[in-house]
Structures are given as structure tokens and as C-alpha cells.
A = this chain, B = another copy of it.
Amino acid sequence: MAATELVEGVLQGDRRSLARLISLIENEDPSVGYALSQLYRHTGRAHIVGVTGPPGSGKSTLVDRLTTEYRRRNKTVGIVCVDPSSPFTGGALLGDRIRMQGHALDKDVFVRSMGTRGHLGGLARATSDTVRAMDAFGKDIVVVETVGAGQSEVEVIDLAHTILVIDVPAAGDDIQAIKAGIMEIADIFVVNKSDLPGADKKAAEINAMLDTDPRERAWRPPVMMTNARGGEGIAALVDKIVEHRKYLEDSGLLAQKGLQRSRDELRTIMSYKLTRELMEKLEGRPEYEQALRKIAERDDDPYSVAERLIAEFLVDYGRSVKENGERKRR
């Protein structure tokens, strides 16, 4: 399928086109840039909800229930499940099949799992592009679900408008505590498995921690109680997510976050393109291989070599501009 057809398909709501595009994103196919640039203007409508929490906190069940509730409210839902700690396994695909079976026949729910391919930056980028594709596809809500083990997750769900951090009542040593860095990104805390003993205590602990936060903020993250398995507290949680979205809009924070995201993204894209242009000029050239050998043998250092090569690259480019100018004048 050509990239233009793919774009058409996604915009017309064709699920197979969306699935195909996400595969191309995962495989870093060169045609993705064109497709995403065409889709970009059709994005910005979805409410992006991040869900994170330690393994065993019931994230998947919670996301399943949230989806049911959103569908009851006539909202279409896209779900991206990310596992940054599975670098090389193909487990993600199996995950797609065994989870979310309740929504398997619902054409207004689209689920996709992703594992790390290559480096972590690649996963954050692929997640972001996948969310964007689902947004352009027309999903009202896009949920990004990720295991909460640290910095990796912060990067992966950085794109969400509303971040849910899930915790559970103390249940022995088999469930990791939420890390400090994860606490700080929460817009809404969820104490799941509220039927277990200690749920109120856990909520009180989170509230106490929030009281020690010295920052003045207009939105104090609420602590919600759910029992995802039993379906309790889900409607109230969705109400709260909607309320947070309204807060972001009314306060101007949504626009502010959007601008910041554009800034980060433009920088990333420019850096990538510029580096690729430079490397295309350098790689394979004998002088370049020679310079690398000298660095490896400690006859030269990479910092000085980098400076020299960049200057040459820019001057070369300058020279070609100059020659073009002179040619035109003749």
C-alpha cells in the first residue's frame, strides 16, 4: 500500500490501514515521515490518558473497565500498551490477543501493544507516533498504559494530558512500591483493589504525602478508590478524568502543554534530520574511517574530531551554496 493510500485509509477510519501504519511506525519504515506529516493536521482532538503503576496493581483490568465506561458514554477508544522492560521479546503480540477480549468485537476500540525495539528513545517516539495515528484516526480517548518501574515510563507517557498512577493496598513484598519519580507525574491517584484490607490506609498515605508537597498548585491530584475487577469506582474515575481535562482547558494549561510539546518535537525532528544529513556525507568516506581509528587508538579524541568534522560539513555546504550562486550569475 502506498503512503498516500494509507493516509487516506486512516482518515476514513479503516482499521486495517491504521494497523498497517502502526507496524510501519514500529519498524521505522522511511515512508512513516510522509504519512505522519499528512496526518498531523488531523490530530489534537483526542484526550490522551496515561495509566501507570507497578506490576500486579491491576492496570490492564482497570483499562478494560475504563474502556467499557467510555463506550457506555459513546466515546471511541484507542489503547496503546507499552512495556519498556521487554526489550527483545515478541510477547507484545500475544498480549494483544489474550487481553481486552471483551472489546474484541467492538470496532470502536482499537488495541495495540508495543515492546522496545532498539533503544528506549525509539520506544517513546514510536509510542508518540502511534498515539498520533490513533488521534488522526478519530479516537476520542487514547489510553497509554505502561508498567511503572521508573524513568522509562516517565518518558513514554510524557505525552499524556492526564496521568493516572495506580497503587494497591500493601500486599506483601511481591508488589513493588511506586517510585518517587512516578508519584510526581500523577494527575490522579487510583488506589485499586479497594476491597483489600489497607485500602483506606494507602489512600491516607498518598494524601499525607501530597500534603507535604511544597508546590502551590491549582490542581491537587485527587486519590480515587476503585475495585476494577468488581467494577466499583470506575464511573467516578472517568468523571474525574473528564474534570481534569476541563481544568487543563480552562486554565490554559492544555494550550501551554501543546506548545511545549511542539517545541520538544520540532527540536527532536530537526536534530534527527540534520544528523542524518551529516552522516550521509561522512559514513563510508576513507577520511572518516581513518578518524575513527585514530579515536579508538587514542591518537585523537572524539570531541575535537566532532568539532572539526562539523565545521567542514557546514563549510562544504556553504561552498556549494556559493557555487550555485556564481553559476546563476553567469
Tell me the A residues contacting B by CB distance below 8 Å: 33-34, 36-38, 40-44, 84-89, 116, 119-121, 123, 149-152, 154-155, 172-174, 179-181, 184, 255, 258-259, 261-263, 265-267, 269-271, 273-275, 277-279, 291-293, 295-296, 298-299, 301-307, 309-310, 313-315, 317-322, 325
Contacts and interface: CB of A to CB of B under 8 A. Distances in A.
Nearest to A304: B37
Given A298-B43, A317-B314, A317-B317, A303 B123 contact: no
A153 to B, nearest CB: 9
A36 B298 CA distance: 13
A307 to B, nearest CB: 7
Contact of A317 (B41, B184, B318): B318
B296 A259 contact: yes
A316 to B, nearest CB: 9
A274 B314 CA distance: 10
Contacts of A119: 151, 155
Contacts of A173: 174
Contacts of A262: 292, 295-296, 302
Contact of A293 (B43, B155, B259): B259
B302 A265 contact: yes
A257 to B, nearest CB: 9
Given A85-B179, A151-B85, A320-B318, A295 B266 contact: yes
A128 to B, nearest CB: 11
The 6 closest A-B pairs by CB, nearest first: A318-B321, A87-B181, A85-B150, A40-B301, A318-B318, A37-B303
A110 B241 CA distance: 49
A41 B174 contact: no
A309 B270 contact: yes
Nearest to A172: B174
